[in-house]
């Protein structure tokens, strides 16, 4: 029974490679999965329910890996953490590209950001504190910057190793992007 549900979800993801989420119909999924409509409706109320299931799956997976990301930023990179992140990316790449890189994914990114903010507050022992608006905005800014760095990396077919991406994220977090731009400016000036 779980195999059929997974088969339907994988068929939807395959269709999304060539069509936007909002353009995929139940008929297309049924036809490409080689199943009856009643089988689709046994597992999902409609396409939106299928999308919701895929989003929830990715949110749950992000939930598990977020602590590893946080640990790499705080305590450094080691082979075990890198392997965990690489496994996460390999297992979730299709879903991440579906929801992070497509125009129709803003509601998912908002859900992910809210979940990640709660997780970050827990990881940093801030959940009992009453954050000021400035602190809340700062956390959201940092989280969104890290998320878009990750999405940009995916969009560019993971052209740099995970370790370099983590270091870059940590440098942006600790020094800020302006620090990186100033280093680039110094490099350019020293070449003249």
Mean pLDDT of 82-87: 92
User: How far is 114 from 120, CA to CA, in rounded Å?
Assistant: 10
pLDDT at 158 > cutoff 60: yes
- Provide the pLDDT confidence category of residue 77 given band limits of 50, 70 and 90: confident
Q: What is the mean predicted confidence (pLDDT) over 147-168?
A: 91
- Residue scoring higher pLDDT (183 or 26): 26
* 87-105 tens-digit pLDDT: 999 999 999 988 888 755 6
Residues 158, 161, 165, 171: is their CA dihedral positive or negative? negative
Q: Which of 60-69, 148-157, 172-181 has the highest mean pLDDT?
A: 148-157
What does the pLDDT look like over 130-148, one tens digit per residue? 778 888 888 888 888 888 8
Please determine, for residue 56, whether its predicted confidence score (pLDDT) is greater than 80.
yes
Looking at residue 124, its pLDDT comes to: 67
The predicted pLDDT at position 179 comes to 74
Q: How many percent of the chain have pLDDT more than 90?
A: 41
The pLDDT, as a whole number, for residue 48 is 94
Question: pLDDT tens digits for 1-40?
Answer: 689 999 999 999 999 989 888 899 999 999 999 999 999 9
């Amino acid at each position: 029974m779980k195999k059929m549900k997974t088969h339907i979800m994988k068929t939807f993801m395959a269709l999304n490679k060539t069509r936007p989420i909002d353009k995929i119909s139940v008929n297309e999924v049924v036809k490409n999965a080689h199943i009856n409509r009643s089988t689709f409706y046994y597992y999902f109320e409609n396409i939106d329910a299928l999308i919701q299931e895929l989003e929830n799956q990715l949110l749950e997976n992000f939930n598990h890996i977020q602590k590893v990301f946080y640990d790499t930023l705080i305590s450094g990179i080691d082979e075990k953490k890198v392997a965990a992140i690489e496994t996460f990316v390999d297992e979730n790449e299709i879903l991440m590209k579906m929801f992070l890189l497509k125009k129709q994914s803003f509601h998912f990114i908002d859900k992910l950001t809210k979940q990640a903010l709660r997780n970050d507050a827990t990881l940093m022992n801030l959940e009992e504190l009453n954050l000021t608006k400035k602190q809340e905005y700062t956390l959201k800014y940092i989280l969104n910057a890290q998320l878009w760095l990750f999405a940009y990396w995916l969009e560019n077919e993971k052209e740099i190793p995970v370790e370099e991406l983590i270091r870059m994220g940590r440098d942006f977090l600790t020094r800020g992007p302006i620090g990186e731009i100033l280093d680039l400016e110094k490099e350019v000036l020293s070449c003249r």
